[in-house]
Structures are given as structure tokens and as C-alpha cells.
């Protein structure tokens, strides 16, 4: 006796259930890996921002030192007697 729109053979039911579980497991694994990738990217972004901010501060210090040195060189070339 066949049911309308249903699976009648117990073997087919078992295969369908097994396939459904495998699909669910696959989707679960994909979801987990997407979440791990997302977490990695968030951590990477935070770490990168922190390191770039630190480098930017160091660069600002070096730029200020360079400006001071440029002024000193400029004044030395316009008035060399200061250093003799």
C-alpha cells in the first residue's frame, strides 16, 4: 500500500534519513568553519589596528625628530659660524 507523496520502502526511508543527517552534519561543519573564519578575521582586524596605531605613533615621533633636524641643518647652512 503506497502512501500519497510518501516513501513506502523502509530501506528508502533509512537512506533518506541517513542522507538528511549527512546534509545536516555538512551544513553544521560549514557553519562552524564560517564562524571560525569570522572570529579569526575579527581578531586579525583588532590586532592589525593595534599594531598600525603603534607604528603610526612611532612614525609621528620620527617625523617630529626629522623636522627638528631639518631646522638645525637649515640654520647651520645659513649661519655656519654658530658651530665654529
pLDDT one-digit tens code per residue, 7-40? 678 888 999 999 999 999 999 999 999 999 999 9
Cell 557553519 belongs to: 31
Least confident of 23-27, 34-38, 72-76, 77-81: 77-81
Given a contact cutoff of 8 angstroms between Cβ atoms, the answer to whether 82 and 76 are in contact is: yes
What's the rounded mean pLDDT across residues 47-71?
98
Amino acid at each position: 500500500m503506497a502512501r500519497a507523496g510518501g516513501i513506502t520502502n523502509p530501506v528508502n526511508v533509512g537512506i533518506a534519513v541517513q542522507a538528511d543527517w549527512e546534509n545536516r552534519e555538512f551544513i553544521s561543519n560549514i557553519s562552524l568553519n564560517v564562524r571560525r573564519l569570522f572570529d579569526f578575521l575579527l581578531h586579525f582586524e583588532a590586532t592589525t589596528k593595534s599594531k598600525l596605531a603603534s607604528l603610526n605613533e612611532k612614525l609621528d615621533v620620527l617625523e617630529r625628530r626629522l623636522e627638528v633636524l631639518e631646522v638645525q641643518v637649515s640654520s647651520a647652512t645659513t649661519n655656519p659660524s654658530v658651530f665654529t
